[in-house]
Structure 1
Amino acid sequence: MQTQLKSTRRRALNNMLGGLCLALGLAGTGVAASAADYPGRPISVLVGYAPGGGSDLIVRLLAPYIQKELGQGAILTVLNHPGAGGAIAFAELARAKPDGYTIGLINTPNVLTIPIERKTTYKWTDYDLLGNIVDDPDNFSVRADSPVKSLRDLAAYAKAHPNEVTVGTTGVGSDDHLAMLKFERGAGVQMIHVPFKGASEVRTALQGGQITLAAVNIGEALQFEKGGGEFRNLGVMAESRTDLAPDLPTFKEQGYDITLSSLRGLAAPKGLPPEVRQRLVDAVGRAIANPEFQKKARSMFAPLRYLAPQQYKAELSMEEEQFRQLWKTMPWRDDK
């Protein structure tokens, strides 16, 4: 009787283990099939800034080339979720399901500086990096009819009009905002920060005379001019002059040791299936390398700088440490 009972228990245990192994095997097959069929539905691409700015335009330009590389009738849908310097979209991207159907643009320094400044539900390490697209140096722009023709003029004007010079940026902790703060410190002046939801709104405000100065990336500033805006650029915040505007002097040439730029790259929620992640990484890399895309990017003044995921990770890690050190000496919160 005891031997029969043991045999029955053994058969039950074997059946349970067999069922578990079968379930795991089926699950594994499902993952493989899912990866093989990817993408089986449209992919959402989140952009944390308003339509018409540099971030929005580069994603919309690149999307068809990524679709082509993914094949299988892939569709990428760009969704703008502006606000809080990009933090709304950054947070939404971090909490999305890591299945490859939600990716997004992440911008420096915002994706690095906002979590330094305040508690957030995301940090840049919460993403699977897919590749950087653009590295766009900062610049100051004024209206063409402004009396300010150089950084020296700007400093003199700001001293003569304390707390009257209004500066439009894409948000607290953005590269534009940090550029303003660094210039204030270097020139010994005080200006008024006016944050917007995107570069297109900054352009509109400058064109309408609602702000004195626009702190925008040089690629965006040149797009503004191409679109019919009558602006004057005052300087590029790079180590050397940019090929996009070779006649425009750097801030360093004008006596201000300020270098700032914005990386704009694609990322996904952490934990993508490896096969899906590799397909996306490969598609992004090949799309950026496409000569037709590069020609179109040049025509819209987008300074391309492709970084593969490991290079991108190293760059973000280095920049994060630099901004943590900057926060200790020059905290950038408006309500401080």
Structure 2
Amino acid sequence: MQQQNKRRTLGALAALLAGAALFTGAAQAAGYPERPINLIVSYGPGGGTDLVARMMAPFLQKYLGGDARIVVLNRPGAGGAIGFAELARAQPDGYTIGFINTPNLLTIPIERKTSFTWQSFDLLGNLIDDPGAFSVLNDNPLKSLADLSAYAKKNPGKVTVGTTGTGSDDHLAMLRFERASGTKLSHIPYKGAGEVRGALAGGEITIGAINVGEALQYQKGGTPLRFLGQMGKTRSAALPDVPTFKEQGFDIELASLRGLAAPKGLPEDVRAKLVSAVKSTVDDPAFQAKAKDMFAPLRYLPPADYAKELAAGEAEFQQLWKEAPWLDK
């Protein structure tokens, strides 16, 4: 009898504690956000992700309501791995979110041991889908990918290509171009597209492997660059006169998805609030106008569709790694 009473007491206590936890969690979600939210960008200042993050912050603040304030934190290095790892290990309380960028998010865990994969995150929605491109300065005599191929064949290793890191879409594009053209290029990795732009403008590199939206922003800002080709499936609406790589005889299609995520394990109410704020931001006409002005090609994916896209991309890059590892040799 005494044993039964003890079990009943323990059961009642457990139920009371569970109810208290649920009440506390609901109260926290109802008051969220009550302090600033850190938004991690895994690349340096001035890159496409950084510029979009800072432009987007006021919209997220508006739709989160309350005392929302977004603080953008740049955590560049290792092709994005430093920022991705910091985001993955943060407390899953809704006060740390961040951009996750493909293919780096998918390729880095394939090429080396990491503390994260794309499944380390609660996905909040994808915002951007930006095709890759090769750019040169206006005074460069190279006018096309055929010119680049011919010059690189005559001058092995002399053409330097700036990218946002090993395993990035820029780097993979360079390696694919090497194989398709039978050339040897020299890879120069940087911590972000802003650094690549600076190196190109300063004459430190021959080719800037910079995504279309980013390159157009730099061009608008006064960097005298010219496109040799872009890597979309079709010509970009923003670049109707620039042929794709495929049109120029090189079967290369690569782009960068840029979406928002949080550490795995968010309280459901907090996650729902963040997902809703991201969707409302993308739907806001003022945000769309600013994104267009920044040449940021929007492509919203809700969390479930975003997960499917990341899973498919991961499988594709795993197969590619088996066939042709992309690490520099």
Separation in 2 of the partners of 1:119 and 1:306? 30
Query: Alpha-carbon deviations, 1:6-36, whole Å to 9, x = none?
Result: 45x6555544433332222211110111111
Amino acid at match of 1:136: D
Matched, 1:139 2:133: yes
**Equivalence for 1:96:** 90
Three-state SS of the structure 2 residue aligned to 1:267 is strand
TM-superposed CA distance for 1:278, in Å, is 0.6
**Equivalence for 1:308:** 302
| C-alpha contact 1:108 1:174 (8 A) present in aligned 2 | yes
Equivalent position to 2:270, from 248, 266, 276? 276
Separation in 1 of the partners of 2:254 and 2:11? 59
| C-alpha contact 1:103 1:268 (8 A) present in aligned 2 | yes
Separation in 2 of the partners of 1:109 and 1:184? 19
**Equivalence for 2:233:** 239
Change (3 A) 1:26 1:199: same
Query: Alpha-carbon deviations, 1:19-66, whole Å to 9, x = none?
Result: 332222211110111111111111111010001100101111111111
Within 5 Å, give how 1:108-119 maps onto structure 2.
108-119=102-113
**Equivalence for 2:185:** 191
Matched, 1:75 2:69: yes
**Equivalence for 1:208:** 202
Separation in 1 of the partners of 2:184 and 2:21? 61
**Equivalence for 2:258:** 264
Change (3 A) 1:141 1:27: same
Amino acid at match of 2:199: A
Amino acid at match of 2:200: L
Separation in 2 of the partners of 1:128 and 1:289? 21
Matched, 1:255 2:249: yes
Separation in 2 of the partners of 1:300 and 1:125? 30
Is there any run of 5+ residues in structure 1 with no aligned partner, and where?
Answer: 1-5
Within 5 Å, give how 1:1-336 maps onto structure 2.
6=1, 11-334=5-328, 336=329
Three-state SS of the structure 1 residue aligned to 2:210 is strand
Select between 320-329 and 180-189 the one with higher mean Cα deviation: 320-329
Separation in 2 of the partners of 1:99 and 1:157? 53
Aligned length: 329
Query: Alpha-carbon deviations, 1:111-150, whole Å to 9, x = none?
Result: 0000000110100011110000100000000111111011
Amino acid at match of 1:19: L
Instruction: Find the structure with the greater CA-based Rg.
Output: 1
Separation in 2 of the partners of 1:225 and 1:201? 15
Is there any run of 5+ residues in structure 2 with no aligned partner, and where?
Answer: none
TM-superposed CA distance for 1:159, in Å, is 1.1
Select between 123-132 and 21-30 the one with higher mean Cα deviation: 21-30
| C-alpha contact 1:132 1:307 (8 A) present in aligned 2 | yes
Query: Alpha-carbon deviations, 1:267-306, whole Å to 9, x = none?
Result: 0111111111111001001101100000010001101100
Separation in 2 of the partners of 1:14 and 1:252? 71
* Percent of pairs with identical residues: 60
Separation in 1 of the partners of 2:14 and 2:150? 76
Separation in 2 of the partners of 1:310 and 1:25? 30
Separation in 2 of the partners of 1:210 and 1:198? 15
| C-alpha contact 1:62 1:288 (8 A) present in aligned 2 | no
Amino acid at match of 1:53: G
TM-superposed CA distance for 1:325, in Å, is 1.1
Aligned CA-pair RMSD? 1.1
Amino acid at match of 1:169: T
Three-state SS of the structure 2 residue aligned to 1:282 is helix
Query: Alpha-carbon deviations, 1:299-335, whole Å to 9, x = none?
Result: 011011000111101111111111111111221112x
Separation in 2 of the partners of 1:199 and 1:42? 27
TM-superposed CA distance for 1:97, in Å, is 1.0
Amino acid at match of 1:93: L
TM-superposed CA distance for 1:244, in Å, is 1.1
